């Protein structure tokens, strides 16, 4: 077994132990709450932890399957997320072919380019070629009502759900001296740190939150939760420097960047949900809502992490 696979298994085992401890605690809280007639908060906590087990198992299997497994997994997640986003978009019958192109041409093409490591094209394919192609397809149908809104929302959906998310498997293509064959650990580090930041921001906010960051947008997001969660997740990212090509100080800097980017992503996606009048993007993941609800932090953090790593650490 390679050193990278051993490190990945150690990381997954550590996450498994944390989830096992969280599961035990959640079950104890459920039993205590049942004596008092039950608690919706405790039930939601149990549902979230159960869902995390499933997500960690799927992600771990994809990691162990190698490059193709990771690319296919994120392509499927992008498809599900794009479907959630488009469901809330302003649409017309005239958008049928443009949407078909987004789902069945642009999305798979982006991931094929990532799989082929065609950096010069996958970094501009959606923001240049897809952005120009989709309006042309839609305008040929002749419906100009809300045309700008319809096209802009579809383009934004592609940027968030496909372009930004595809930078996660793109990490596998980076060539970093002394880190050959271990790039999957970069993905593991990114996902763990960003998702842990979300959980810790929620926890710190529940325990000590008093001052909302954006009261009219997301009252549950507090400055106390933000500071506590970001600092805690940054510490965790620093302690996990051993699975990255970064030194401890570099890992701390990267962790701070991705956790702050993730928080901003959560705010932006919350604003879109408020605009559309919905609480969650979907209901496929018990306790978490939809795929975008779980990935809103990752999609904002992934491109920044990819390009910072490529610029400062990659030989290409």
Q: Give 145-153 contacts, CB < 8 A, sequence gap 24+.
A: 145/92, 146/90, 146/92, 149/90, 150/89, 150/90, 150/91, 150/92, 150/95, 151/98, 153/89, 153/90
Q: What is the pLDDT of residue 117?
A: 95
Residue 29 in this model has a pLDDT that exceeds 60: yes
- Residue 57: pLDDT above 70? yes
Residue 5: pLDDT over 80: no
Of the candidates 164, 167, 194, which has an alpha carbon nearest to the alpha carbon of residue 300? Answer: 164
Q: CB within 8 A of 232, min separation 6: which ones?
A: 196, 197, 200, 204
Closest to 70 in 3D by CA, of 173, 151, 147: 173
282, pLDDT greater than 80:
no
Same domain, 155 and 284: no
Same domain, 86 and 157: yes
Report yes or no: 97 and 141 within 8 Å, Cβ to Cβ: yes
Print the domain residue range for 34: 1-65
Q: For the chain, count helices (H), then strands (E).
A: 13, 0
Among the three residues 18, 44, 65, which one is the final residue of a domain in this structure?
65
Are 191 and 311 members of one domain?
Answer: yes
Q: 113 and 165 in contact (C-beta within 8 Å)?
A: no
Contact 233, 202 (CB under 8 A): no
- Do residue 187 and residue 293 come from a single domain? yes
The per-residue pLDDT for 4 is 73
Q: What percent of the chain has pLDDT over 70?
A: 96
Residues 160 and 235 in one domain: no
Domain boundary (173, 200, 219) is at: 173
Do residues 304 and 231 share a domain?
Answer: yes
Confidence of residue 49 (pLDDT cuts 50, 70, 90): confident
Q: Is 60 exceeded by the pLDDT of residue 288?
A: no
Residue-wise pLDDT for 252-267, tens only, equals: 999 999 999 999 998 9
Q: Are residues 162 and 273 both part of a single domain?
A: no
Render 191-253 in DSSP notation, one character per residue.
Answer: HHHHHHHHHHHHHHHHHH--SBSSTTT-TT-BHHHHHHHHHHHHHHHHHTGGGSSS-HHHHHH
Same domain? 37 vs 96? no
Q: What is the pLDDT of residue 30?
A: 84
Q: Which among 51, 169, 162 has a CA at the least distance from the CA of 106?
A: 162
Local confidence band at 283 (pLDDT 50, 70, 90 cut-offs):
low
| Structural domain count of the chain | 3
> What is the pLDDT, as a whole number, of residue 13?
87
Half-sphere exposure of 310 (CA within 13 A, CB side): 16
d(CA 206, CA 211): 11
Q: pLDDT for 161-220, tens place per residue?
A: 999 999 999 999 999 999 988 999 999 999 999 988 988 888 888 888 889 998 887 777
Specify the higher pLDDT residue, 47 or 128: 128
Q: Out of 13-27, 107-121, 300-314, which region has the weakest mean confidence (pLDDT)? A: 13-27
273 shares a domain with 193? yes
Half-sphere exposure for 69 (CA within 13 Å, toward CB): 11
Asked if 98 and 227 sit in the same domain, the reply is: no
Q: Nearest-CA neighbor of 257 among 174, 185, 197?
A: 197
Residues 316 and 190 in one domain: yes
In this predicted model, what pLDDT tens digit does every residue of 80-131 receive, in sequence order?
999 999 999 888 999 999 999 999 999 999 999 999 999 999 999 999 999 9
pLDDT of amino acid 311? 95
How confident is the prediction for the chain on average, in pLDDT? 89
Residue closest to 192 by CA, chosen among 147, 149, 233, 224? 233
Domain boundary among 147, 173, 199: 173
Tokens at residue 282, please? 């979907």
Are 314 and 190 within one domain? yes
Residue 247 pLDDT > 70: yes
Give the pLDDT band of residue 1 (cuts 50, 70, 90): low
Predicted local distance difference test score (pLDDT) of residue 286? 54
Q: In this predicted structure, what is the pLDDT of residue 56?
A: 84
Give residue for tokens 């994809």: 62
């Amino acid at each position: 077994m390679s050193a990278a696979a051993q490190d990945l298994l150690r990381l997954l085992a550590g996450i498994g132990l944390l989830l096992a401890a969280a599961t035990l605690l959640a079950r104890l809280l459920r039993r205590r709450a049942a004596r008092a007639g039950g608690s919706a908060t405790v039930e939601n906590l149990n549902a979230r932890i159960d869902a995390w087990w499933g997500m960690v198992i799927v992600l771990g299997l994809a990691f162990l399957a190698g490059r193709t497994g990771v690319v296919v997994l994120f392509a499927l997640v992008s498809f599900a997320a794009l479907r959630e986003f488009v469901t809330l978009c302003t649409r017309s019958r005239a958008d049928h072919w443009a949407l078909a192109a987004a789902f069945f041409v642009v999305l798979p093409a982006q991931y094929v380019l990532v799989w082929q490591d065609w950096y010069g094209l996958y970094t501009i394919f959606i923001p240049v070629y897809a952005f120009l192609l989709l309006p042309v397809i839609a305008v040929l149908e002749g419906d100009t009502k809300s045309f700008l809104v319809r096209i802009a929302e579809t383009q934004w959906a592609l940027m968030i759900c496909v372009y930004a998310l595809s930078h996660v498997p793109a990490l596998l293509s980076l060539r970093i001296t002394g880190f050959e064959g271990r790039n999957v650990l970069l993905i593991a580090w990114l996902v763990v740190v960003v998702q842990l930041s979300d959980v810790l921001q929620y926890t710190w906010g529940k325990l000590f939150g008093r001052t909302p960051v954006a009261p009219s947008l997301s009252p549950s997001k507090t400055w106390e939760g933000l500071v506590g969660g970001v600092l805690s997740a940054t510490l965790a990212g620093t302690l996990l420097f051993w699975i990255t090509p970064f030194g401890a100080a570099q890992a701390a800097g990267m962790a701070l960047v991705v956790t702050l980017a993730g928080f901003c992503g959560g705010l932006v996606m919350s604003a879109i949900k408020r605009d559309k009048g919905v609480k969650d993007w979907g209901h496929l993941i018990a306790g978490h809502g939809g795929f975008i609800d779980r990935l809103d932090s990752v999609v904002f953090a992934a491109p920044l992490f990819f390009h910072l790593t490529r610029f400062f650490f990659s030989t290409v």
